Amino acid sequence: MRSGVALERHYSVTDDDGQYEIKNICSDMRMVGIMIPWQVIHDKQWQSRDGRGVFFQSDSNEIVEDFEFWPGAEFKMLLIEGDEIHYQIQDPLASRNRRYSLKVYFEDPKYSTNLGLMDTYISYDNLQGTLSLKALKSQSEFSFMYMLAEDTLNINGFMEPLYLSGNYYFKVFPEQINSDGTITNGLFSDALSQARYVQGQDGYSKGDKLLENKKVMDAIQWYTENPTEHGLKVVYALYKNGFIPVENESYLDLEGADPQKALKYLNELIDRYGTSEKRLIEKAELYEELGQYSLEKKIRKKLLSLSKDNVFNHIEYARCMMQLGDYDPAMDYLLEYGAPDKEADRYYSKMLIGHRLELLPQEMQQALNKTKDIASYYDFHVFIKSGDYDKAWTLLQSKPESSMKTFYTLLMLDGVHLSTVDFEMYNKNKLDGQYTDFIDYYVEKTLEMGQLEQSDKDLAMILKYIKMITTGFTHTLGRMKAICNSL
C-alpha cells in the first residue's frame, strides 16, 4: 500500500479466511493493493465485489477493498478466414453492463514492447460475431507512439501487430460500463489468449530496412514516396515524437519533432485510410500543440458526438474553450460535464487561477479568502476571467515576491498554455535552469510555503490538496511529507 502523501508502505498478511487489517496509516492514504502469486491468478479475472472497483469509505474512516476471483474471459472460438475473424467470447460474468476491448500482440518476444491495444469494443450483444482483419490492421499501433525505449529507433518498436506475417495472440479484456473500477483479466500469462497465424507483409519493406539502419531521412523519403498505411504511421510518429536521440543517462530525449509536418502526414493517413476516434484525438492534440484552438475545438466537438459519455472528451473540450478565452463558460461546463466528484484534480489549477473555488473544501475556500494578499489580485482574476491570460501573467510577474505570487505562478504554469511563456522558458530565464521539471519546482515551492506563516501554510495546503492524486505527481509527492507534518 502507498500513502498519498508520504508513499510509505504498510502491509498485512491475510488470515485463513482472507481477512486482513492495516493499522496506523496516514489520513491521506489513497490506495490499497494486493500481492498474490501470479500462478494463482494467471487465468482468472477479478474486480471489487460491489462491482464499483473503488474504495468504500465508511463513517468510521475505514477503507475496504474486497476481491473475488472468477475464471477469466477469453475467446472460446477464433477463426480467421480471409479478411474475416469469426469469434465467440466466453465470460462467466457477461452482462449488459460489460463490454470487451481487444488486444493483439506478437508471439515473437522481440516485439513485446508493442502493446497491440485495438480501438475496438465488443458489446454484450455481440459475444459471438465477426470482425474485420483489415480494420484491426488499420487500428494497430506500435510502441514508439507511447514510449521511448532505451534504443529509441530500434526497428522492432515500429512493427505494429498484424503488419508482418506471423503468429499473434488474441485476447479480450472485460470492462464495466459506467464504472470507475478496472477489471483485471489474467496476469503475466498468455493462458487466456488464442494464438493464430495472420498473413501480412512478408519481411521488412525498403523503408523499414532504411529505418533499421538508422537512415531516418532516407526512410521518411521512401515512406512518403510509397505511402502505405504502415509507412504513413511511421512518418507521422517520427515527426510527432522526434527522431534525433539526444545522448543522456537514460536515452529518453528526442529532437526533430515537427507538429506541423506530423499534422500533414496524419491528415494524409486519414484521407487515404480513414479516420478513427484515436486519430481524431491525435489531430486535436496537434492543433493544441500548434495553438490552433479554433480548429482543435471543431475536432473536440466531433469527438463529443462520437463518445458523449466520455468524461475526458468533455474535460478536453472545456480546456479548449478556456484557451479560446471563454474562461467562465469553460469552468461552468466542467462543473456540469467534467465529473467534478471524480476528476476535479485534473482541472483544479484552471479553476483556481480565476478564483473559482466551488470545488475546494469549505475550510480551504475560507483560508484562501482570508489570505492577506488576496484583495490585491483582483485585477489578475479579472484578466483571467476575460481570457486575457498573457496580460494576467505579465501583471502577476510584476508583483512583489510573495507566497501568493508563487501560488498563482504555479497554477498558471500548470493550468494555462501561454503564448509567451511555458515552464521550460520560465525555468531557463527566471530560475537559471535549476529544476529538472515542473513537478520538482511545484513540490519545492510548496514545501517552502509550508514552513512559513499560517497564511502561507494555507496556500501550501491547497497546493498539496489539488495534487494529491494527480497522475505524474505521485512519485514525487513523497517529498511532501514535511507538509503533512507541518499543516
Of residues 135 and 28, more confidence is placed in 135
Residue 38 in this model has a pLDDT that exceeds 50: yes
Residue 103 in this model has a pLDDT that exceeds 70: yes
Check residue 54 and give its pLDDT: 38
Which residues 6+ apart lie within 8 Å of 125 measured at CB? none
C-beta of residue 124 within 8 angstroms of C-beta of residue 96: yes
> Which pLDDT band, with edges at 50, 70 and 90, does 297 fall under?
very high
Check residue 34 and give its pLDDT: 66
Specify the range with the lowest mean pLDDT, choosing from 111-120, 211-220, 268-277, 315-324.
111-120
First to last CA, the chain: 23
CA distances from 467 to 93, 121, 363, 474 (A): 36, 32, 17, 8
User: In this prediction, what percent of the chain has a pLDDT beyond 70?
Assistant: 84
| pLDDT average, residue stretch 346-375 | 90
- Report the C-alpha gap between 423 and 446 in whole angstroms: 16
Using one digit for the tens of pLDDT, what is the confidence trace for 299-330? 999 999 998 888 999 999 999 999 999 999 99
Cell 479484456 appears where?
173
Residue 6 in this model has a pLDDT that exceeds 50: no
Specify the range with the lowest mean pLDDT, choosing from 22-26, 169-173, 205-209.
22-26
Residue 95 in this model has a pLDDT that exceeds 70: yes
* Helix 378-385, helix 327-337: angle, nearest 10: 80
Cell 477464433 appears where?
78
Angle, CA 185 vertex, CA 179 and CA 188 arms, to 5°? 135
Of residues 181 and 50, more confidence is placed in 181
| Summary mean pLDDT of the chain | 85
- Report the C-alpha gap between 54 and 176 in whole angstroms: 12
Check residue 248 and give its pLDDT: 61
| pLDDT average, residue stretch 70-99 | 96
What DSSP state is assigned to residue 357? Answer: -
Domain 74-203: which CATH number of 2.30.30.700, 2.60.40.10, 3.90.930.12, 3.20.20.140: 2.60.40.10
Using one digit for the tens of pLDDT, what is the confidence trace for 198-230? 999 999 999 999 999 999 999 999 999 999 999
Residue 76 in this model has a pLDDT that exceeds 70: yes
Using one digit for the tens of pLDDT, what is the confidence trace for 397-431? 999 999 999 999 999 998 888 877 889 899 999 99
- Report the C-alpha gap between 16 and 33 in whole angstroms: 19
Residue 27 in this model has a pLDDT that exceeds 90: no
> Which pLDDT band, with edges at 50, 70 and 90, does 247 fall under?
low
Of residues 309 and 282, more confidence is placed in 282
- Report the C-alpha gap between 452 and 463 in whole angstroms: 14
| pLDDT average, residue stretch 68-94 | 95
Check residue 62 and give its pLDDT: 57
Residue 234 in this model has a pLDDT that exceeds 90: yes
| pLDDT average, residue stretch 95-100 | 94
What DSSP state is assigned to residue 156? Answer: G
Residue 56 in this model has a pLDDT that exceeds 90: no
- Report the C-alpha gap between 483 and 463 in whole angstroms: 10
User: In this prediction, what percent of the chain has a pLDDT beyond 90?
Assistant: 57
Check residue 81 and give its pLDDT: 96
Check residue 252 and give its pLDDT: 59
Specify the range with the lowest mean pLDDT, choosing from 43-47, 128-132, 250-254.
250-254
> Which pLDDT band, with edges at 50, 70 and 90, does 21 fall under?
confident
Q: Is 77 helix (H, G, I), strand (E, B) or coil?
A: strand
Q: Let me know if domain 209-342 sits in CATH 1.25.40.10.
A: yes
Question: What is the residue extent of each domain of the chain?
Answer: 74-203, 209-342, 348-486
Of residues 144 and 355, more confidence is placed in 355
Check residue 432 and give its pLDDT: 92
Check residue 476 and give its pLDDT: 46
C-beta of residue 204 within 8 angstroms of C-beta of residue 69: no
Check residue 477 and give its pLDDT: 45
Residue 368 in this model has a pLDDT that exceeds 50: yes
Of residues 40 and 330, more confidence is placed in 330
Angle, CA 159 vertex, CA 155 and CA 161 arms, to 5°? 160
> Which pLDDT band, with edges at 50, 70 and 90, does 178 fall under?
confident
> Which pLDDT band, with edges at 50, 70 and 90, does 480 fall under?
very low
- Report the C-alpha gap between 447 and 461 in whole angstroms: 10
In 3D space, the residue among 321, 301, 325, 326 whose CA is nearest the CA of residue 313 turns out to be: 301
**Cell matching residue 432:** 537559471
